[in-house]
C-alpha cells in the first residue's frame, strides 16, 4: 500500500518590523518568533535557552512590551514592532543599560545577557507607566518606588545560571534614575 501524500505545512506571508526595519517574511505557521528572529532573519543575539518560557533568555520587546519569543508564534506579530538586543544597541553605539552591564560586570558567560537587558528595558517602562508588581505595596501610587525587592520581583522571569544577580541589579539601578529614588 502506498504512503499517503505528504502535505506541505501551511505558510503565511506577512510584514513585521524588526529593529526598525520593515521585513516581509514567509514562514511555516508553526514558527515561533524566536525561530523567525534567529533562523530566518539571522539575528542570533536573542538566545534559545529552555524553549519553554522558563528562563527568559529569549526575551524581546514587542511594541515596547517584553515577551518570551519562544512562546509566541511569529504570525501573531504581523504589523508589530519587535526589538531584539541588536536593536537596543551595537558596538560602538551601546545603550546606557548595555554600558551599565559592562561597567558593573553584570554578566559572566553572557548567554542570558540579551534577554536580561531586553527584560530590564521593558521592566523600566512598566515602572514608568506605574504598573504594579507582586512586590508593589501601594497599588494606587503614581510612582512605584524601584526598590531592590521590586527589581528582583520584576526580573524574576530571567534566570542567570552564573548568578550575576547582584551586578544585574546594580546595572539596572544605575540607569533607573529618578525611578530608583524610593529605594
Domain residue spans of the chain: 11-85, 96-178
> What pLDDT score does 161 carry?
94
E strands, the chain, where?
11-18, 21-28, 59-62, 65-68, 81-83
Is a pLDDT exceeding 70 seen at residue 53? yes
Is it true that 11-85 and 96-178 share their CATH fold? no
Q: What is the mean pLDDT of residues 40-69?
A: 97
The model carries a pTM of 0.92
In CATH, which superfamily holds the domain spanning 11-85?
Beta-grasp domain (3.10.20.30)
Is a pLDDT exceeding 60 seen at residue 181? no
Check if the beta carbon of residue 150 is closer than 8 Å to that of residue 139: no
More confident residue, 96 or 5: 96
Report the C-alpha gap between 153 and 148 in whole angstroms. 9
> What pLDDT score does 179 carry?
66
> What pLDDT score does 141 carry?
81
Report the C-alpha gap between 34 and 69 in whole angstroms. 5
CATH node for 96-178: 1.10.150.120
Instruction: Report CA torsion sign: 40, 46, 49, 52.
Output: negative
Amino acid at each position: 500500500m502506498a504512503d499517503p501524500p505528504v502535505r506541505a505545512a501551511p505558510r503565511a506571508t506577512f510584514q513585521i518590523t524588526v529593529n526598525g526595519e520593515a521585513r516581509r517574511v514567509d514562514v511555516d505557521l508553526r514558527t515561533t518568533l524566536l525561530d523567525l528572529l534567529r533562523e530566518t532573519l539571522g539575528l542570533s543575539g536573542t538566545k534559545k535557552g529552555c524553549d519553554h518560557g522558563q528562563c527568559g533568555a529569549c526575551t524581546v520587546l514587542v511594541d515596547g512590551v517584553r515577551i518570551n519569543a519562544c512562546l509566541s508564534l511569529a504570525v501573531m506579530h504581523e504589523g508589530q514592532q519587535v526589538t531584539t538586543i541588536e536593536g537596543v544597541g551595537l558596538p560602538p553605539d551601546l545603550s546606557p543599560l548595555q554600558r551599565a552591564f559592562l561597567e558593573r560586570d553584570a554578566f559572566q558567560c553572557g548567554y542570558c545577557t540579551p534577554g536580561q537587558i531586553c527584560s530590564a528595558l521593558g521592566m523600566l517602562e512598566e515602572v514608568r507607566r506605574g504598573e504594579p508588581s507582586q512586590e508593589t505595596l501601594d497599588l494606587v501610587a503614581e510612582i512605584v518606588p524601584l526598590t531592590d525587592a521590586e527589581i528582583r520581583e520584576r526580573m524574576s522571569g530571567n534566570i542567570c545560571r552564573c548568578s550575576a544577580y547582584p551586578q544585574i541589579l546594580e546595572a539596572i539601578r544605575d540607569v533607573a534614575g529618578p525611578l530608583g529614588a524610593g529605594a
